[in-house]
Amino acid sequence: MPKQEQSIAINNTDKDSVLSYCYSSFKQLNWQMLYANDNTLMAETSKGWDSRSQQMIVTIEGNMLTVCSEMTGEELFDITNRNKKNIAAFIAAYELVKNNLPANAKEQNIAAINFLRDETARVAAKEAEDAAELDKAMNLSSSNLHATNTIIGINVVVFIMMVIDGAGIFIPNGLVHIKWGSDFGPLTLSGQWWRLFTSMFIHFGIIHLALNMYCLFRIGIYLEPMLGKPRFITAYLCTGIAAGIASLWWHTNPVNSAGASGAIFGMYGLFLALLTTNLIPGQARNNLLQSIALFIFINLVYGVKGGVDNAGHVGGLLSGVIVGYVYTASLKKEKEEQPSVSWIIPLLILVTGVFAVYFLQQFRQPAPEKIPVASTANPADFSGYSKFNSSSQDFFKLEERAMDVFNDTKITDAQRLTDLRTISLTEWDGAEDLAREMQTYNVSDQMKKKAADMVLYAQLRKQEIAIITEMDDNKTDTIKLHALRNQINAIIKDLKPVP
């Protein structure tokens, strides 16, 4: 955080007097005292409507008094020079107090400082005790994050390999994801059970990957040391499989699902369960419980939007809560230095396996249903997929600009006719040319048909403009325009299906 320091000479003034002057200076500036030790006082500046408080520390070093002001928020720069202003305000107050402080006030200040020192020592001792208790419960200081980092590394390596194979960095190619093992119902339910496992390491674009890996690292910091690597890895994989099953069960229409988020929600659900027990000390438990609950709530609400497999998130979360309560018994025994319950991990693996086999058998689909999907899932044949998606977005941007003329309520009818002949017609010409180019891309026959429909759509819109700009309000032109718009509406349904 940004900070600034300045030193002033104290001219052999005794330490107690200097600290007394500093104490009175803080009080005059209405800054809240925080702690004190032998040579240091710390205070917090007042909060403003437009700024956070800053931390002020004064330290006696030899014959000098060092004054430090430091930001305490997330600021990267001290744009308004708050630190410099704080130091200037303190020095002005210090000089004033130094020359005018009554003797009895000095004694009162020294007594207050001594009390603050005692309170600081008590708080520090309590914090050290709480930290030791928390460390004993969660094993934070004596464990590494090898399992968490390995899982992150596997996800990153898989993503890089998929990008090389044409998956797309920002705009994903779903065909590549199917090839690499995403959880696609018609394939998973017709014998390719391994997709429940592989889908946990596949991501739809670099943003999807980055967000998931960040969340995994944040939860791994707490859970891997507390659970130990075997329990951590087992919980991650089992809740990830449960999330995949939940996704398959929920979606009656097949979705191409992948990502670590189901397993990550499982780990957050596991932690949530542990935080409802007394395994973790009170204050730390309450703070973490609020933070974890808020994270889960926000992400589930966000998951309601389209394009997010919230069923997998909920499945992972609920299975994680169950695993958390199952783990509680063995963690309590270890905390009490009793032999751990060694059969829990094999039991969890067995139950997850049996449940997965039962589900896959109950909802099994006949093998022929997967053949059309598998035959189209060869991304090597469709290297233009990402480019096609990008061009599609450009096409509909041209459409939007062309249709703006119809929707502009601020222009006259005469101006609208002029804009249709110039602005709209030009945009539709560009859209038609783009759609013709898209027909040449190396994509599936279905996508080439979509490009052909785009060409037809642009042509129909140009015909619509021709009729509108030339019609004389006769019945023939009106019937022709009505029929043309029926064609346009029909093709719009194919180009932009309702979610």
Same-domain status, 368 and 390: no
Domain end call among 354, 376, 398: 376
Whether residues 315 and 389 share a domain: the answer is no
Please confirm, yes or no, whether 313 is among the known catalytic residues.
Answer: yes
Please tell me whether residues 390 and 345 are part of one structural domain. no
Residue 368: predicted pLDDT: 39
Residue 50, pLDDT score = 66
What is the per-residue pLDDT across 276-309, written as a single tens digit (0 to 9) for each? 998 888 778 888 898 899 989 988 888 876 668 8
- Examine the domain organization and report whether 158 and 303 are in the same domain: yes
Same domain, 133 and 113: yes
Asked which of 280-294, 296-310, 427-441, 465-479 is least confident by mean pLDDT, the reply is 465-479
Q: How far apart are CA 361 and CA 400, in angstroms?
A: 48
The CA dihedral of 379, 381, 387, 389, to the nearest 10 degrees, is: -60
Residue 80 confidence (pLDDT): 87
At residue 204 the predicted structure's pLDDT band, cuts being 50, 70 and 90, is: very high
Statement to judge: residues 128 and 178 lie in one domain: no
Catalytic residue of the set 25, 199, 313, 424: 313
Q: Are residues 105 and 241 in the same domain?
A: no
Q: Measured between alpha carbons, how far is residue 135 from residues 139, 141, 148, 291, 340 in Å? A: 5, 7, 19, 19, 19
Based on the fold, state whether residues 408 and 452 are members of the same structural domain: yes
196 and 289 fall within a common domain? yes
Q: Which domain holds residue 387?
A: 382-495
Task: Indicate which CATH number applies to the domain containing 24.
Answer: 3.30.310.80
397 shares its domain with 350: no
Domain boundary among 138, 167, 194: 138
Question: Are 153 and 292 found together in one domain?
Answer: yes
CB atoms within 10 A of CB 414: 8
Answer yes or no: do 356 and 389 share one domain. no
Whether residue 494 has pLDDT greater than 90: no
Partner residues linked to 54 by β-bridges: 71
Q: Which of 261, 319, 330, 386 is catalytic?
A: 261
Q: Pick from 311, 342, 376: which residue ends a domain?
A: 376
What is the mean predicted confidence (pLDDT) over 417-424?
89
Number of domains, the chain: 3
**Domain CATH number, residue 349:** 1.20.1540.10
